[in-house]
Amino acid sequence: MAKVLMKGNEAIGEAAIRAGCLNYFAYPITPQSEVAEYLSRRMPEVGGVFLQGESEVAVSYMIFGAAACGARVFTTSSSPGISLMSEAISYIAAAQCPAVFVNIMRGGPGLGGILPSQADYFQSVKGGGHGDYRLLVMAPASVQEAVEMVMQAFPLSEKYRNPVMILGDGLIGQMMEPVEFPDHLRTEPTNKDDWATNGMAFRKSDKRNLVKSLFLDPDQLNSNNLTLKAKYEQMKQEEIRFETYNTDSDYRVLLVSYGTMSRVCRTAIDQLKEEGVEVGMVRPQTLFPFPEEAVRTAAGKAGCRAVASIEMSMGQMVEDVERSVRGSLPVHWYGKCGGDVPTPEEIIDFTRSLL
Amino acid sequence: MAKGKTFAKPEALSDAVTHYCPGCTHGVIHRLIAEVIDELGIRGKTVGIAPVGCAVLAYNYFTFDFQEAAHGRAPAMATGIKRVRPDLVVFTYQGDGDLASIGMGEIIHAANRGEKFTTIFVNNAVYGMTGGQMAPTTMPNQRTTTSPFGRDVNDVGMPIRMAELLSSLATPAYVTRQTVLKPKTINKAKKAIKRAFEYQLAGRCFSFVEVVSTCPTNWGMTPVEAIQWAEQTMLPYYPLGDFKTPEADGQAAKDSV
Ligand SMILES: Cc1ncc(C[n+]2csc(CCOP(=O)(O)OP(=O)(O)O)c2C)c(N)n1
Ligand code: SF4
């Protein structure tokens, strides 16, 4: 298929349809309302479901209800909205249903701002809702990658029967870039008859299905949590994705950065190279599972003297970088989170200060 | 099954012994729903949604697909199901804390969108499961564990009448209030529940059956006293009957143009 120029938010909506997800529920919030606007026109064209719910709380439970009866379903929101959805996300993870949530992050805490941010790293990667659960979190760095990740998110959420989150900063949603939608558009939905409440008569079964998250018996709750844990361990084995940049060089500093921020880091790395300073980068594409091994190996390369996490937050991913490096090198953080993205010059200055 | 002669357990009801207290009306309401589901022959395409409240384990007593909601969110889950699977029959089963307090937003908007599912609303004037705290439906001066001196309406307002409130919405719906305090009213309640499911099956409208119920345990009464108290105190404030029907709504819509 030919490349088309598309705004990130609209491309995300289209990608879901191309992935065979014809069910979308949402509540407007900047900077991602264009997804809902786009799909309010597009879903009727493809015979899909579009519904604007009364709140993110309601929307997240519409997602739960639809997912629990076996439908492919997704929603998009931004930081404050994701906070409201976090209760349902915890329930969906506990009840082991597949669903896709897209967070086009804006600045926080509180109402924060409407400019790009990466300040929901902890919320997405470490919890957000209550209890022992994890999300598979994917972080696109371009509109093209957002499209690909959205399309992969559905089969992944079904493979693990767990919510998948696409974590993009506001720029991913707002910028226009050329995108190409993969040719093989629809993936076959997996068999959901074993667990989904899709009606006994429809699945020709005498056994009823139950979707729940309450386990009053301590052994049963522990066992459900162990089942969840086993899935998260499997994700660590099978789903870690990352990219490296300039790591063939004899770099003296290793940057770790994701999303839009990693693109600025690339520019800084190119410029430093011209000035004779080699800097490498690991760009996590999955934030959970985190590419621990890749960061550790890259930090361990002879000649590397410092590691820095560059983020549009007050320093969140840096904790995972520290955990990966395990004290073998000093780990620094540089970032901003008012909404303006750190410039290549700022990153160059910071990186030079580590030499 | 010979009508009116045998008293068999409905197919839609399981063999499990319920965890409800003696004299609790939840069990009666469960049975009515199960009878209606059997009579309509819809067990294979029904999905129930359990609330958070004493009926959280309702799915143990039914023999068809069930989802368990978070507190108050059942109408949003039902919306999700009906939108993606209109061919399923969906009902929510909710208490007054669940529906009239934490879940007020979800029920009003689902009703106002005219979602084609059925809600069975159990009004027992108290939070049963958490130990008898005040509910939005608690009667004036009624003592509960969080209104130990009786509900002070100057402080927390008057009890909310959900059937009346929902019937004020302009979207066509079936909204009725029933009770299961006496055999005669039980029969009427069953008819209303059946009618509610029939509207759903016809894809007609949202349907809502409020059931004035008892919670002898948290009211501190015997089951018989509880029935008497509900009749004397609740029914005058929560009158029985149909508050809204799609037929009347259709007529009103015609009259207004
Ligand atoms: C978010 C949340 N808040 C509070 C609770 C605690 N809780 C469980 S049941 C309940 C009240 C249930 O009362 P009601 O809906 O009247 O049902 P009943 O038990 O009387 O049948 C509360 C407050 C909860 N489970 N979740
Ligand atoms: S506490 Fe009340 S509502 Fe709950 S089971 Fe007992 S009597 Fe029924």
- Searching chain B, which residue's CA lies closest to the CA of residue A72? B84
Q: Are B78 and A65 in contact (CB under 8 A)?
A: yes
What separation in Å is there between the alpha carbon of B70 and the centre of ligand 1?
9
> CA B257 to CA B254: how far, in whole Å?
6
Ligand 1 in reach of B29 Cβ (< 6 A): no
Q: Quick check: A221 and A94 in contact, CB under 8 A?
A: no
- Pocket mutation for ligand 2, best pick of B17, B21, B61, B214 (most atoms within 8 Å of C-beta): B21
pLDDT tens, B189-229?
A: 999 999 999 999 999 999 999 999 999 999 999 999 999 99
Q: What distance in angstroms lies between residue B246's CA and the mean position of ligand 1's atoms? A: 31
Specify burial of residue A206 (Cβ count, 10 A radius: 0-12, 13-18, 19+): exposed
Q: Which domains does chain B have, with CATH numbers?
A: 26-256 (3.40.50.970)
- Report the residue of chain B nearest A91, measured CA to CA: B70
Q: Does the C-beta of B211 come closer than 6 Å to ligand 2?
A: no
pLDDT at B141: 98
A211 contact residues in B (CB cutoff 8 A)? 66-68
Task: Establish whether residue B26 lines the binding site of ligand 2, counting it when its CB lies within 6 angstroms of any ligand atom.
Answer: yes
Instruction: Give the residue whose CA is nearest to atom 10 of ligand 1.
Output: B53
Instruction: Supply φ then ψ for residue B92, to 5 degrees.
Output: -105, 150
Q: What are phi and psi of A25, to 5 degrees?
A: -125, 140
Distance CA A233, CA B132 (A): 42
CA of B55 to the centre of ligand 1 (A): 10
Span B38-63, average pLDDT: 98
CA distance A155 to A211: 20
Closest CB to B56: pick one of A25, A95, A214: A214
If phi > 0 it is left, if psi is from -120 to 50 it is alpha, else beta; for residue B72 that is left
Report the residue of chain A nearest B14, measured CA to CA.
Answer: A208
**Is-above-0.90 flag for pTM?**
yes
- Map residue A109 onto helix, strand or coil: coil
- Cβ-based contacts of B56 with chain A (< 8 Å): 214
Ligand nearest to the CA of B217: 2
CA distances from A348 to A20, A279, A304, A329 (A): 43, 10, 17, 20
B66 CB near a chain A CB, below 8 Å? yes
- Rounded to 5 degrees, φ, ψ at B151 are -65, 120
Closest chain B C-alpha to A212 CA, distance in angstroms: 5
Q: Does the CB of B196 have a partner CB in chain A at under 8 Å?
A: no
- Check if B24 has its Cβ closer than 6 Å to any atom of ligand 2: yes
Amino acid of residue A80: P
Q: Which atom of ligand 1 is nearest to the CA of B99?
A: 15
Any ligand 1 atom below 6 A from CB of B97 = yes
DSSP secondary structure code for residue A189 in this structure: P
Domains and CATH numbers, chain A: 4-238 (3.40.50.970), 242-354 (3.40.50.920)
How far apart, in Å, are the Cα atoms of B200 and each of A114, A324, B40, B46?
A: 42, 55, 12, 11
Q: Give the Cα separation of A85 and A60 in Å (integer).
A: 5
- Count CB-CB contacts under 10 A for residue A37: 15
DSSP string, chain B: --TTT--PPPTTB-SPPP-PPTT-THHHHHHHHHHHHHHHT-GGGEEEEE-SSGGGGGGGGBSSEEEE--TT-HHHHHHHHHHH-TTSEEEEEEEHHIIIIITHHHHHHHHHHT-S-EEEEEE-SSBTTTTSB--TTPPBT--BTTBTT-B-HHHH-PPP-HHHHHHTSSS-EEEEEEE-SSHHHHHHHHHHHHHHHHHHHTT--EEEEEEE---HHHHT--HHHHHHHIIIIIHHHS--EEEE-HHHHHHHHHHH-
Q: What dihedral angle (degrees, nearest 10) is formed by the CA atoms of A111, A116, A117, A120?
A: 70
Best of A21, A25, A55, A62 to disrupt the B interface by mutation (most B CBs within 10 Å)?
A: A62
3-class secondary structure, A129: coil
Q: In whole angstroms, give the CA distance from residue B177 to residue B123.
A: 10
Cross-chain CB nearest to A61 (options B62, B73, B87): B73
**pLDDT values of chain A reduced to their tens digit, one per residue, 355 residues:** 689 999 999 999 999 999 999 999 999 999 999 999 999 999 999 999 999 999 999 999 999 999 999 999 999 999 999 999 999 999 999 999 999 999 999 999 999 999 999 999 999 999 899 999 999 999 999 999 999 999 999 999 999 999 999 999 999 999 999 999 987 655 666 789 999 999 999 999 999 999 999 999 999 999 999 999 999 999 999 999 999 999 999 999 999 999 999 999 999 999 999 999 999 999 999 999 999 999 999 999 999 999 999 999 999 999 999 999 999 999 999 999 888 899 999 999 999 999 9
Strand partners, B175: B208, B244
> A263: how many CB neighbours lie within 10 A of its CB?
16
Q: Is the Cα dihedral A170, A172, A178, A182 positive or negative? A: negative
Q: Are B76 and B167 within 8 A, CB to CB?
A: no
Ligand 1, from B28, B129, B219: best to mutate by most atoms within 8 Å of Cβ? B129
Nearest CA to ligand 1 atom 1: B71
A162 vs B: CB within 8 A: no
Is the confidence at residue B1, as pLDDT, over 60? no
The angle formed by the CA atoms of residues A81, A318 and A79, to the nearest 5 degrees, is 5
Q: Which amino acid is at A18?
A: R
